Amino acid sequence: MCQLFKVSRSGFYSYCTRPLSSQQRANEALDKKIATIFNHHKKRYGAPRITRVLKSHNEQCSHTHVARWMKQMGLVAVAKKKFKVTTDSAHHLPVYSNVRNRDFSTTSINQKWACDITYIRTQEGWLYLAVVIIRAQ
């Protein structure tokens, strides 16, 4: 193998047994901190945010340095998807009138119902939450 890379055998074994330099130790410590911050924030922090967190902890680093190490470690932040508005108020479908006019008083059960639906985005897709409130005295 030494002949293949054109290095001496003693030079190869010297390289293998050489202790890490202070810069290499500092880089390994920074790698661990970057990975810890990245995972702590649910893989949503990119290089700029991680740099800000490190600087707030009095750690000397630059945005490009953090970005380079993140790329080498294979850490890619999950970008938040933009919400696309799908409500179209200018449609030609029938619109029901407000027959309740904010009057929620009732005299018996099952007289007035109120309902609503909301959509919640999750990592697996959409979650639909439907609520029905039956007004009674």
- What confidence tens digit (pLDDT) does each residue in 88-119 have? 788 888 888 888 787 878 888 888 888 889 98
Domain that holds residue 48: 2-73
Residue 132 lies in a domain: no
Task: Decide if 48 is inside a domain.
Answer: yes
Alpha helices, H only, 59-104: 63-73
Give the pLDDT confidence of 29-68 residue by residue, as tens digits: 999 999 999 999 999 999 999 999 999 999 888 999 999 9
For residue 92, which amino acid is it?
Answer: H
Helix axes 63-73, 47-56, angle to 10 degrees: 120
Q: Is 22 among the domain residues?
A: yes
CB crowding 91-124: b at 16 or more within 10 Å, else e: eeeeeeeeeeeeeeeeeeeeebeeeeeeeeeeee
Q: Work out how many domains the chain is built from and give that number.
A: 1
